[in-house]
Every structure is written in C-alpha cells, then in structure tokens.
Structure 1
C-alpha cells in the first residue's frame, strides 16, 4: 500500500489543495484548517449550509493568507488583536478575528454576514476524550487531526451508486471525485474495500498514527463542487450499505503518534 495523495484545507469548509508532501504536526497537517468562518456572534458557518464557501480558495504563504473567489478581487488577510469565543461544534474555542475586510469579502461570497477567525494557538482545542489521549489536540477540523480514505473503498462505493441508479431507472452518474469526502490522506493499493474499518494503528512513511474512530458522513459530501448544488449521493447509497448506529460511514479518523514529513508514494504499513 502507498500514500496516493495528500490534501489540506487552510480555511475550514473552503476548497482544498493537493500537495506532494506535508508536515504532520500533533494537531494535523501543517496549515490545515487553522481558519474558519463565523457568523460574528460565536456561531460556526460551514459549506453544509453555505455551499458557496467551496468556491473560496485560500492560499497560504508562510503565515499570510490570501482569499480568492469568483465574486471579488483576491484579498490578503491580516489577523487583528481581537479575540472571540466560537463554538466549534460542541467545543468553545478562543479565536483571533481577521478584520472587517475579510468579513466583507466573505459576506459578499455567501450572501449573509460572516467573519473570518484564526486559531493562533493550535494546542487550544482538545480531541474528544472518548476517542483520544489527554494530550491530543486538533486544529479546526471537524473532530480529529487527519481523515484517511482509500481508493478501493471509493471504487466500491461508485459501483454501488451505479447499481442504485440502475435499480431506479436513472442514468448512471459519473464516478464521485475523492475530494467530495475532504480527506487528508488517500491510500492506494488496498486489496479490499473498507479494509480500513479494521485498522487500529498504521505508519505512513516514518510517521505513526492511531485510528480514533470511523468517520460518519454528512450532507457536505452531496455538494457538487462545480455547481455548488446538493444531490442525493453518496448519502443515499451509503445509507443502504454503510449505515450503523443511525449514521453512514466512509473513511477513518487519525491521530498522529509522532511528527514528520509524509510524501506521496510513501509506503503504508498496518501496525
């Protein structure tokens, strides 16, 4: 098995980047989801409710962030000294506001008041203690430092989706792109679809990881990133084949047991 691709997302719920290598830090890949969009009143805004966030491309240059989108000129973001508490799902987190220019830019993009906030200290947010050790930390990802998917599992899911369409007399859709699932790392060469369900620990290159839990999926996976419209797949088909405990599952969440650089093509070993 080998590391097929690496992806990171500078701003939560915005477009991702494919990279050849990445630094693994205790709270996730370097530069991954250190920013998020808020409603300015302590609430989190995501592409689940505001799909146009996926049209935003955030580019990191050292510590600087530039936002590009279809609605306005690129904007270079400068964090302020103002702190506020944002509810990142069930956890209140102190974040740094990124100023009125970024707020106007994002508000125009999604059509409602919005602000950009930065996690200046990535040690601030703990991982859910039910699935983690006391010192584990996560940036602004949904819950865990990295998300792993496999090409074998996506191939099987695409087969199931085609079967569902045929049963309903629908035209077979194009295969789903992996970026619908917003993984951090994608593993190729896995012999059996969904073999990752059984993994407990693994090593990518020289960096070891623990598997915290499987990843339950939401409506974000149904958004077409070309049109920003919602469909029925893959949730409809996952509900037939991958449903348990009232949720549907695809991928696994990882917590690093060390740090280092991972590179596309690195060998992957189950420990």
Structure 2
C-alpha cells in the first residue's frame, strides 16, 4: 500500500488542493481548514447548507497566504464572493476553533472504496487516499493505525456521509441519488475519521502499513 493522494482544504467547505508532500501534526495537515466561513455571530457556515461555497477553490500561495480563486482571502472581491455564496453577513475568519473539523482532523479514504462507489473522489473530501487497498477493506480498519514513515495515524471509525457528496465538484449540479446509494449500499459510511499519534512529513508514493491492535 502507498499514499496515492494528499489533499488540503485551506478554507472549510471550499474546494481544496492536491499536494505532493505535506506536514502532518496534531491538527492534521498543516494549513488545512485554517479559515472558515462564519456569520456576524460567529456561527460556522458549511456547504451542507451553503453548497455554493464548493464552487470556490482555496490554496496556499508560495508565501503561505491563503488564496481564494487566486486572490488573497482578505480581499474585497473574495468578501463579495463569499457573501454571494453563503448569504448576507457571511465572511471569512482565520481561526483554530475546534469546530473547523467536523469530527477529527484527518479523513482517510482508500482507492478500493472509491472504485467500489464509482464517483469522483473529491465528493468525499479526503485528506489522504491510500492506494493498493482491495475493495472495501477499509471497513475493517476501525481502531487500527496507519504507519507512513515517521507518521502514525489512528483510525477511529467510519465516516457517516452527508448531503455534500451529492454535489458535482466541477459543475455544482446536485444528484441526490449519490447519497441514496451510499446509504443503501454502504450503510451511509465511507472513509475513516482519523487523528495523528506521531507527526511528521508524508509524500505521495510513501509506503503505508496497517497496524492492527
């Protein structure tokens, strides 16, 4: 098994970026979900209720600054776009608040699962995709650990999937049948809620070992 893909989402609920290497620490991949969309009372907005956010893409620039659609995240143009996508008063906030993660700091998926589901992997917003995993073997990994070089990741449980999986990552068109099939054929759970035990750097192609308790 190996690290097939690494993904980071600098702005929660916006499209993210694929990386060749990444530093992984207690808060997951460095730079992941460091900015969120909130209202004037501090309430977090996500694509579950504001799906238009998925139509915007966030990356880290060469200087570490977060860019949204190629513009600095604090720019007026980005502010207008965020309000248009999420409603009046919605704005971007840089924060390390715990609610920036839905459950745990990392989501691990596998190529076997993605092949079985047969839809674009971006619908599931994984941080790590592990290659060389037969079929739905990931469903046996709850409570196990992944060793990737110096990095050790704990896999707590399978992730319950939500309405965000129904939106095409390119067109934004919704297809409710995607979630209906996930619920019918996969009991509504795909991928693994995960956390970092030992930090370090990972890269695409790194070998992966499953350590079962």
What TM-score, normalized to structure 1? 0.71
Q: Residues 91-240 of structure 1 correspond to what in structure 2 (within 5 A)?
A: 102-119=78-95, 122=96, 125=98, 140-158=100-118, 176-191=119-134, 193-199=135-141, 200-240=144-184
Q: Structure 1, residues 146-189: CA drift from partner, whole Å, max 9, x if none?
A: 1011111111122xxxxxxxxxxxxxxxxx11011000000111
Q: Aligned residue for 2:55?
A: 55
Partner residue, 1:17: 17
Give runs of aligned pairs for residues 1-12 of structure 1, distance below 5 A. 1-12=1-12
Task: Tell me the equivalent position of 1:257.
Answer: 197
Supply the distance in 1 between the matched residues of 2:194 and 2:109 (Cα, whole angstroms).
Answer: 11
Instruction: Give the conservation status (yes or no) of the 8 Å contact 1:213–1:253.
Output: yes
Whether contact under 8 Å (2:73, 2:92) holds in the other structure is no
Question: Structure 2-normalised TM-score?
Answer: 0.89
Alignment CA distance shift 1:210-1:75 (3 Å) = same
Highest CA radius of gyration, 1 or 2? 1
RMSD between superposed Cα atoms in Å: 1.9
SS in 1 for 2:198: coil
- Offset of residue 60 of structure 1: 1.8
Structure 2: how far apart are the matches of 1:152 and 1:254?
A: 18
Q: Secondary structure at the match of 2:100?
A: coil
Please point out which of 59, 73, 77 is paired with 2:73.
77
Unaligned runs of 5+ in 2: none
Q: Of 189, 208, 213, which aligns to 1:268? A: 208
Q: 1:59 Cα deviation (Å)?
A: 2.6
Higher RCO (CA-CA < 8 Å; seq separation 6+): 2
1:37 lines up with 2:32 in the alignment: no
